[in-house]
Amino acid sequence: MMNELIFLIEESPEGGYTARALGEDIFTEADTMEELKKMIRDAVSCHYEKSILPKIIRLHFVKEELLPL
């Protein structure tokens, strides 16, 4: 059983959010953060059998910002 699964969350240039799992082939996207959380739960449930679902899903938010000099 996996204890934790980490997703990198980024704002999409087209609007909305994307989520990519570290070390797993799980990717999803949604227009709002609430929708994204539901999509992540659904994707994880589809990817793993019930007996090996991770106990914790950690969301790591990544925001890129450019500072002009």
Q: What percent of the residues of the chain are helix, what percent strand, and what percent coil, each to the nearest 5?
A: 25, 35, 40
pLDDT of amino acid 26:
97
Tell me if 29 sits within 8 A of 14, measured CB to CB: no
Tokens of 53: 């679902």
What's the rounded mean pLDDT across residues 14-35? 97
The backbone region for 38, taken as left when phi is positive above 0, alpha when psi lies in -120 to 50, beta otherwise, is: alpha
pLDDT of amino acid 66:
87
pLDDT of amino acid 28:
98
pTM for the full model? 0.86
Q: How many CB atoms lie within 10 A of CB 21?
A: 19
d(CA 69, CA 58): 34
- Confidence tier at 1 by pLDDT (50, 70, 90): low
Average pLDDT, whole number, for the chain? 94
